[in-house]
Amino acid sequence: MSDDEDVKEMVNTLIDSFKNKVEDDDRLKDKLEGFNRKISLEFEDDGNFNFSIDETKVSELREGKAEDADIKIYTDTETLDGLLNEEIKGMEAYARKKVRLDAPFLDLLKIKDLF
């Protein structure tokens, strides 16, 4: 998959899923209290996007890299598709180096529910 609109739709699906988890999970809401970060999703094969988490609120998706991102996630569209279709788990993708992360460890613990 390499069409920009398809990738944008997949990323929006990921963000919507995370928003739903935040709404439904009081534990996650508590964990995100005081958490304000800019996140950049950088695809090796097609496009870059960014969004922000401001406590329990997630911004709309923006196109392009966020040079000042607190958290950078590097992957490819095939891996994202696999994550969304539950063909691969987030930790498995990370262990297989299909997803690379550039962020402080404590931030990673807070956003692990994104995948």
Instruction: Summarize pLDDT for 18-73 with one digit per residue, the tens.
Output: 888 888 989 888 888 899 999 999 999 878 999 999 988 889 999 999 989 999 99
Q: Do residues 53 and 70 touch, judged by C-beta distance below 8 A?
A: no
**Average pLDDT of span 70-88:** 92
Please check the confidence at residue 96 and state whether its pLDDT lies above 90: yes
Q: DSSP characters for 18-51?
A: HHHHHHH-HHHHHHHTT-EEEEEEEESSS-EEEE
pTM for this entry:
0.84
User: What's 43's domain CATH number?
Assistant: 3.30.1050.10
Please count the structural domains in the chain: 1
10 lies in which domain range? 4-114
What are the tokens at 24?
Answer: 């439904």
